[in-house]
Structure formats: structure tokens, C-alpha cells
Structure 1
Amino acid sequence: MTASPASPAASPLTARAQEAASEIVTDILTLVRHETSSYDLPGLTAGLDLLREVACHRLGRPDHEQRHPGGAFGDTLTLTYPGTDTGAGHVALVGHYDTVWPTGTLAGWEPPEASDDGRVRLSGPGIFDMKTGLAQGIWALRLVRESGVRVPAVTFVFNGDEEIGSLSSRPVIEEVAQKADATLVLEPTAHGAVKTGRKGSGIFRVTATGVEAHAGLAPQDGASAITALSEFVVAAAAVASPARGTTVNTGLIKGGSGTNVVAGQATATIDIRVSSEAEQDRVDAEFDAIKVSDPRVRIDIEHAWNRPPMTLNTASAPLLDLAREVAREQGRDGLPDAAVGGASDANFVAALGFPVLCGMGAVGDGAHAQGEFIYPDTVPAQTALVAGLLGRLAEPLGG
């Protein structure tokens, strides 16, 4: 069930967030209207400049900032704002600005149909995953600073390669999280629930190398890499075990050089999600055991486990308790948590044993799907929740 917004009178922070709601939504839509596909480097560069501009407009210039090069993909930007005093702690707010949507998607975007309960929806590529969370995080710090309570130092980590594995941003995220007392990841909620469990993920690249030949004159001399790869991906799909939390999806296939040539090479990129290290080991072994029918085709598998499974570790449990306490103080009817199939940058932090909560961002639905949307009436409550948690994290966690 989708979370309902908190009462405007529930707390001063919530009331202030309600007053600022139109400005927060304006910032959300500003970010959405600039497309930032993971594979569009110029778009990512301009999108990060825009995100920095929004942060500086709402918060002023940071004490420290650093842009970490992303190579062929989006850079990672860290912005650190000081706390009210040197002993006020340090919190990391992490969010990605890249999206799965190819540049040009916005022009043909069709808004979703109205919800059954008549609630207003806002839609756009990346609005749910996760540009709403970025804007809410910026405003959360602004609101808690305005409230006059003690505030920790906050480091924003904005990365532009999360959707493709956070290959360049991972060490930056881990370094910041190691220095912080707690990390809040501004990914979307699970229908209002924070995310305390996530599957681990792997991105395997499978290459089939066959023998080229003329498809008409001497097909018998060829060994098709495409045919062999097709056999492999069908066998790989059978490795999936939903009952054990393991899914296998072949998302990309490339191969061949012409329709009249028996393909000499073909590649597949396979997305794998697991809920345990034992399943990682099983998948590795079963992939290596797959055989294709033509012995002339060589199969090479690049086992690339990207994110470890995430569970609610002992360091994060007090952080969840604190978030629930803040939610109650703000008049919310509980704050559920959930385990989900997707992976995020929170997986890296949890694997290191540091306190982290994920899913602190948008309430809506449709991640990675045409028509993804948010409920704008939940924006104030979500912003106030993060703001309130920041205020409480000025003191030692569990203290």
C-alpha cells in the first residue's frame, strides 16, 4: 500500500516542508527535464552541472567539493557542508543522477493514467529513480539547517554511473561512508517503506568465438557463434531459481558481421541477482558447466559480481530504529522496511559493516518502466523525514 503523507501539523519540519513543497517539486522537475542517460556523457556532464547549481542555490557553496572523473561515464561529485560544530557528527547522503532512459525519451514520454484513488501523479524519465530523491535530500538539509537545531556535517555523493554498476564511483562512495557516522541513500522507497535488504548483483559478459564462413557457399565450414550463444543463454536462464531469490536476465546480445556470413563472434551481457553468497557460488559453478553443441565454438565467461547482497546489519539496525522514532514524532503511522530485488550503492556500504538505510527518497512506482511516477503529495513528508533524521544524527548513533 502506498504511504500516505503526514499531517501538515505533525511537526515544525513537516509544516515547513509543506510550505516549500512547490519549490521542491520545481527542483525535481528541473532535474527531470534534463536527460541524463548513463551512456550520454555530454548529457551527464551538463546534468551534474545542473545538480550542483541546484544544491548551491538552495544550500550555498559547500565547504569542500571534488569532482571525481568517471572516464567514459558520468563523474562523481562530492559536496561537503559543515555541521553546527566540530562534534556534531557526519552524515553521507548518496544518490545517482544517471537514468536508464536513452537521450530523447522525454520528447515522447506519455504520462500514466490517473490512479484509482484519484491522487495526482507526476511522471517523467528518472523522476522516481531517482531525481526526486536528489531534490528531497538537498531540501532536507536546507530545512533542518533553517530549523535551528544542531546539524551534522553532510557530504552529498552524486554519481553518474549507478545504473551501470557504479564502476568508477564505488571507491568514492566507500571512502565517504567510511568517514561518516551514517549513510542515507536517496533511492526511491518501496511504496513508502525504507529498504533494508537488497539482492546482490552480477553483470556477466559471455563471448562465443566460432568460425566464419560463407553462409551460402560453404556453411558447413563455419561454426556459428550466434547459434552457440543462443544455446548458452537458454541454458543460463535455467540457472535462475526464484525460490532461492536468484534471477537471470540476458539483456544485451551482439554478434556477427553480415547476414551472409556464419558468425565468428557474439557476446551476451547477463544480469544476475542473488540473495546470498551461496547462490553466487552456485551460479558461478553452473555457468561454467554449460556446454554448447558445436565443439568448434569457444565460450568465455567474465564472472563480474558487482554488488554484494545487502541485509540489515547490526550497525544499521539502530539507524532504522531512529528513523522510525523520527517518523512517529512527525505524525506518521509507522515506517515499514522491506527487502527488494534491486541492488543499489547501499549494498557497498552495508557490506563494509557501516550504518546505512536505503530507499529514503520518492514515493511512487514504475522504476525503469515507461510511465514511472511519483506522488507529489508525499514529497513534504519524505523530505521532512530525512531532515528530521539529519537533526537526530548530530548526536552519536545509539547514544
Structure 2
Amino acid sequence: MTPATATLAGRAQEVSSEIVTDILTLVGQETSSYDLAHLAAGRDLLHDLAVHRLGRPGEEHRHDGGERGDTLTLTYAGTSPGHIALVGHYDTVWPTGTLAGWAPPKTDEGREKLSGPGIFDMKTGLAQGIWALKLARECGVPVPTVTFVFNGDEEIGSRSSRPVIEEVANKVDATLVLEPSERGAVKTARKGNGTFHVTASGVEAHAGLAPQDGASAIIALSEFVVAAAAVASPDRGTTINTGLITGGSATNVIAALATADIDIRVSSKAERERVDAELEAIKVSDPRVHIDIDHGWNRPPMTLNTASAPLLDLAREVAREQGHDLPAVAVGGANFVAALGLPVLCGMGAVGDGAHAQGEFIYPDTVPTQTALVAGLLGRLAEPLHC
């Protein structure tokens, strides 16, 4: 290791318990994507944590998310040229109240785990990003100007935060996304995704007196989502999941309306076009029910573009200096910074598993390694990134 690298790695080990405390503090504040009050509390908690660890930023802005969580940008002046964005979301998929019934963490063949709603996806990454800049400063590593972008609507499509993220990404030299790693690997390729809103409009009638007069939107929608699932093609990288369904007005009424929200992931433009066409071609058995599909494509597929390749090389060099390898993988999530042709690395955050599943967890023994990696990369990005 170089002296600076050794200092960063050693210091990260020394303060590991403090970083973990900050992680658990963030997890203790629930931030469901659909709970604006709790999102605001989580946003303020994250802001206060950054100020506590890093001091007041030179610039800060709260971008109103409307019906979704706000986006917070905090900019800290560097000691060297360059400007880097550290991006992460503070909202989670977990409904408010989940924390109270969360199962206690378990060990993994003697290895400690920490578990909680949002700990893996992605509150650990948020704390590690703040501490990465703190450690680099404390260890005298030259650092570029850093803009943190914390958004509260990622789990529901980043519709309000996307313009903010893209604006920041266009102004900086590189973007590091603090999403969880893939078992320690960075993510250099991700699928594109969309959330399709499907509405079935039927004919209302009394379920006992005149069922023949009704056309059930619920039955038709059920037929549709089963047919939609068959459009998936995992071999081609396409997955389709109906995650939400609503419908009907009473048990004794033939349902006139039903809706579904469907998550779709694709790895290519061709698959996107195939999915669009095949979903539109689905027919339901009762012609009196009308099916309307809102094709809500959100993020394009991400590949390792020519701008990002040098960034990956640099991150791997830092990892080697710190005594470990840094693999890269393709995953099923999504990212839109790469679509702008800009340098970006994703998956710089937690090491663990179970995103969006009961029992998601991190390995706390990896926290100092991941934090030191980002800190070391910030130091190297104080120099120009040559493509």
C-alpha cells in the first residue's frame, strides 16, 4: 500500500463502530417511499448526519418532490481540482411500521450480520459515502469538490429526482452511486426498467341478482397479468413482475375497475420493443372489458461505456492498493446516468444481500473496506480522469 492508502484503510478500521452506529441511526428512521412525513424526517436526519460529520456544506438545496420524497444536494468544496457526485436514495420499499416487527439478525456461519429495513438498500451506502469524504479529509488526502445527491423517490421510479441527478451528473467529472454492491462487486451493467400501470374497465352489476349483466374487471385483469408474466424471457434478460393490484368496490358487486402496476426489466432496446408489442397484443376473454396500458419506461439499459471504463480501472487500482480485488458484474437494477454517456460506477455501497426481502442484511466487517475504497477513489479523482 501507499502511505495514504494504508492510512485510509487503517483509519476506516478504527472508526468502523462509529460508521455502523450512523448506519443503524438511519435505519431506525423509517422512510417508506409512500410516507411523506417519514421521508421528510429521514431527509432531515441524513442532512444532520452529513453536517455532523462534515460540517456545513458550501451549497445545499432541497428540491421539492411534490407527492414524492424530496431530493437533497449538498456540495463540499475540495482541496484539489475536480468535482465528483456521490448519489444515493434514502427511501425504502418497506411500509411504515415494518421496523417494529422486523426479525432479529442472524449470524452466517459465525460471521456477524446486521439486518433492518433499508440497511442493505441502501442506507449503509449513504453513511459510508459521508464517512468516505470525512476519512479522506482527516487523512490529508487531496479531494475534489463533492456533491452528495440524496433522493427520496428511487424505489418508485425517481420521477421527480431524475432531472436533478442528470443536471448534477452533467456538471461533474464522474458519478459514484452508493447503491449496494453485488457481494463486493461494482455494477457496470444494469438492465433498463419500467413500471407499467394497467387499467381494466369493466361493467358493474349486482353479483347476486344480475351477474350476467356484469363484466368483471378483476377477472380480466387477472387474465392479463398471467399472460403478461408469460412475456418474460429470463434467457434474454427480461423479467416481468406484477407487484401491486387493486380493484373492486364490494364483495357483492361485479368489479367495474381494477388496476395493476407491473415492474419490467430489459437488457436491450429490442427486448423493450418486443415487450411493448406483446403486452398490447394480449386479449382477455370478456370483450366488454377494456384494457389500457401505460407504458411507463423509466431507465434505459446501462452498459460500461467508454467514459466509465477508465473509472473502473481506477477503482480497481485503488482496491489493489488496499489489498483486495474489485470484480464487476451485470445486474437487474437500473441506472440512467450512463445513458448520458457520462462516467459512472454503481454498487459502491454495502456488502450483504436480501434487497427488498424480509431479512435484508449487511456484513458489518465489510464496512471499513467499502468506505476506504470510496475514500481512496475520491483521492485519485482529485486528478483528471483520462478517457
Query: In 1, are the aligned partners of 2:32 and 2:38 still within 8 Å (CA)?
Result: yes
Of 94, 97, 102 in structure 1, the residue corresponding to residue 90 of structure 2 is 97
Please tell me the residue identity of whatever aligns with 1:337.
A
- The two structures have a TM-score, normalised by structure 2, of 0.98
SS in 2 for 1:380: helix
Match of 2:155 in 1: 163
Match of 1:337 in 2: 328
Query: In 2, are the aligned partners of 1:256 and 1:265 still within 8 Å (CA)?
Result: yes
Structure 1, unaligned stretches of length 5 or more?
1-5
Match of 2:259 in 1: 267
Q: CA deviation at 1:113?
A: 2.6
% same residue: 80
Please tell me the residue identity of whatever aligns with 1:101.
W
Query: In 2, are the aligned partners of 1:10 and 1:331 still within 8 Å (CA)?
Result: no
Q: Quote the Cα distance in structure 1 between the aligned partners of 2:365 and 2:218.
A: 50
Query: In 2, are the aligned partners of 1:98 and 1:159 still within 8 Å (CA)?
Result: yes
SS in 2 for 1:348: coil
SS in 1 for 2:336: helix
Please tell me the residue identity of whatever aligns with 1:164.
I
Q: CA deviation at 1:10?
A: 6.8
SS in 2 for 1:57: helix
Of 197, 200, 211 in structure 2, the residue corresponding to residue 208 of structure 1 is 200
- The two structures have a TM-score, normalised by structure 1, of 0.95
Q: Quote the Cα distance in structure 2 between the aligned partners of 1:271 and 1:328.
A: 38
SS in 2 for 1:73: coil
Match of 1:354 in 2: 342
SS in 2 for 1:150: coil
Q: Any residues of structure 2 matched to 1:231-242 within 5 Å, and which?
A: 231-242=223-234
Match of 1:144 in 2: 136
Match of 1:388 in 2: 376
What CA deviation, in whole Å up to 9, does each residue of 1:325-354 have, x standing for no partner?
Answer: 00011111x1100111122xxx11000000
Q: Quote the Cα distance in structure 1 between the aligned partners of 2:87 and 2:70.
A: 14
Q: How many residues align?
A: 386
Match of 1:282 in 2: 274
Q: Quote the Cα distance in structure 2 between the aligned partners of 1:397 and 1:359.
A: 20
Query: In 2, are the aligned partners of 1:68 and 1:76 still within 8 Å (CA)?
Result: yes
Match of 2:45 in 1: 50
Q: CA deviation at 1:22?
A: 1.2
Please tell me the residue identity of whatever aligns with 2:13.
Q
SS in 2 for 1:11: helix
Please tell me the residue identity of whatever aligns with 1:261.
V
Q: Any residues of structure 2 matched to 1:183-222 within 5 Å, and which?
A: 183-222=175-214
Q: Any residues of structure 2 matched to 1:313-324 within 5 Å, and which?
A: 313-324=305-316
Query: In 1, are the aligned partners of 2:314 and 2:377 still within 8 Å (CA)?
Result: yes
Query: In 1, are the aligned partners of 2:174 and 2:343 still within 8 Å (CA)?
Result: yes
Q: Any residues of structure 2 matched to 1:286-301 within 5 Å, and which?
A: 286-301=278-293
Structure 2, unaligned stretches of length 5 or more?
none
Please tell me the residue identity of whatever aligns with 2:349.
G
What's the Cα RMSD here?
1.4
Q: CA deviation at 1:9?
A: 11
